[in-house]
């Protein structure tokens, strides 16, 4: 998922690369690309084209009740994203489909989310190692997102997935939903590992993260895709910021509550999270950025309905794993209270250290052997 215009996608790819390079193997790491597959959600597949998807996105972005200057900065952020940030990952200008490697590592992010409306992904069997020419295929912290076992049954792809997973040397997932699906498909229990942005200690090891404070005043970060915060959620965020004399800075997308949308590098983003007074997010990686910087945060949970987007499967498990379910927000009115919770960061750190060791051992065992 490294070519998606998204900070979380960039940083999970970057972190996984660093983790593989840190194994005992004398290893050169390159990124492989997948070919989008058929979109199984028929109403989306029948009415979609790449141009229409782009136009629909632009229309949705423009519909957000935000300042024109912020919208322009956001459009420029998206327009220049690949040119600015892909070289930081060492991506080839053209997609790399050559799977004739020693070890192919599939992950992380929602690489197994086969039943989704995104025409840039669809049901791509490349993401399950199908017909790979690699000597060994493993996964690391892969996720089915909000694809459930029932959806897999409904769309009749169980046999495909059983065949593909049976060819893998080792399977690692990052959440309970994904673990249950793999167990149901294969009869084996996969290892559960944390996302690379948690597993790799970016805030200690990454020299590209600025040391200085990048915004002089006190601020709250609203982090999510453009316009995905509801009007009620935006109003609560604005009220909280006003009460605590905070500016609202937005990254990744524009929201109604924005005082300022900031276009920055993925490494600068981590510095902004480090120095924030609070974070409100409905994304998986926005939650992770908050955890690794030990910042007060509130995570907005979106329930899956039918074939529509939902984040409950992956985010609910992430919060439970680190005993942070108290930071979960199911209704906008909870945001103020949740941001006031006292988080036991010492306990979170102990659990994180355990998970980092577990992840390092998994990769070392399956890449070097």
Identify the structural domains of the chain with CATH numbers, from first to last: 7-59+82-200+353-368 (no CATH), 204-348 (3.40.50.2000)
End-to-end CA distance of the chain: 26
Distant-in-sequence, close-in-space partners of 33: CB < 8 Å, separation ≥ 6 = 3, 95, 96, 97
Q: Is the pLDDT of residue 311 over 90?
A: no
pLDDT band (50, 70, 90) for residue 54: low
Query: Token digits for 184?
Result: 């149901």
Question: CB of 96 within 8 A of CB of 30?
Answer: yes
- The pLDDT value given to residue 313: 73
Supply angle C-alpha 297, 142, 20, rounded to 5: 95
CA 363 to chain centre: 20
Range 45-71 average pLDDT: 67
d(CA 27, CA 21): 6
The pLDDT tens digits for 147-200 are: 999 999 999 999 999 999 999 999 999 999 999 999 999 999 999 999 999 999
- The pLDDT value given to residue 62: 64
**CB neighbourhood size of 276 (10 A):** 22
Query: Token digits for 171?
Result: 């399977």
Which single residue is written with the structure tokens 């970060």?
221
Alpha helices per DSSP H over the chain: 7-21, 42-45, 50-63, 68-89, 149-154, 158-166, 176-186, 196-199, 202-205, 231-243, 266-274, 284-292, 312-321, 335-339, 345-368
The pLDDT tens digits for 118-144 are: 888 999 999 999 999 999 999 999 999
pLDDT band (50, 70, 90) for residue 146: confident
- Give residue 365's region: left, alpha or beta (phi > 0; psi -120 to 50): alpha
d(CA 106, CA 157): 19
d(CA 286, CA 360): 23
The candidate with the shortest Cα–Cα distance to 267, out of 5, 1, 10, 4, is 10
d(CA 341, CA 119): 40
- The pLDDT value given to residue 61: 63
């Amino acid at each position: 998922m490294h070519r998606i215009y998204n900070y979380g996608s960039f940083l999970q790819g970057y972190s996984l690369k660093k983790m593989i390079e840190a194994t005992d193997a004398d290893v050169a790491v390159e990124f492989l690309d997948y070919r989008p597959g058929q979109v199984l959600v028929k109403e989306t597949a029948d009415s979609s084209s790449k141009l229409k998807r782009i136009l629909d996105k632009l229309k949705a972005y423009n519909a957000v009740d935000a300042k024109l200057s912020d919208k322009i900065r956001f459009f420029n952020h998206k327009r220049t994203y690949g040119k600015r940030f892909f070289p930081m990952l060492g991506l080839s200008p053209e997609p790399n489909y050559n799977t004739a490697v020693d070890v192919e590592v599939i992950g992380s992010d929602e690489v197994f989310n086969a039943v989704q409306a995104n025409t840039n992904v669809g049901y791509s069997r490349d993401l399950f190692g199908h017909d790979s020419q690699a000597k060994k295929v493993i996964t690391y912290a892969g996720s089915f997102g909000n694809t459930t076992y029932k959806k897999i049954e409904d769309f009749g792809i169980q046999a495909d997935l059983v065949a593909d997973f049976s060819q893998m040397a080792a399977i690692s997932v990052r959440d309970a939903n994904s673990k249950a699906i793999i167990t149901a498909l294969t009869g084996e229990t996969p290892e559960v590992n944390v996302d690379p942005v948690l597993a790799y200690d970016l805030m200690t090891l990454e020299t590209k993260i600025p040391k200085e404070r990048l915004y002089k005043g006190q601020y709250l970060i609203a982090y999510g895709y453009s316009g995905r915060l509801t009007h009620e959620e935006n109003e609560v965020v604005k009220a909280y910021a006003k009460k605590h004399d905070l500016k609202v800075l937005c990254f990744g997308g524009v929201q109604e509550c924005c005082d300022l949308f900031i276009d920055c590098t993925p490494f600068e983003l981590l510095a902004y999270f480090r120095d924030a007074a609070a974070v409100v997010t409905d994304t998986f990686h926005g939650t992770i950025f908050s955890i690794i910087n030990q910042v007060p945060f509130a995570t907005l949970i979106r329930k899956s309905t039918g074939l529509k987007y939902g984040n409950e499967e992956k985010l609910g498990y992430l919060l439970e794993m680190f005993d942070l379910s108290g930071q979960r927000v199911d209704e906008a009115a909870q945001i103020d209270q949740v941001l006031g919770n006292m988080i036991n960061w010492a306990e979170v750190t102990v659990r994180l250290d355990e998970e980092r060791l577990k992840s390092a051992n998994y990769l070392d065992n399956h890449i070097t052997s």
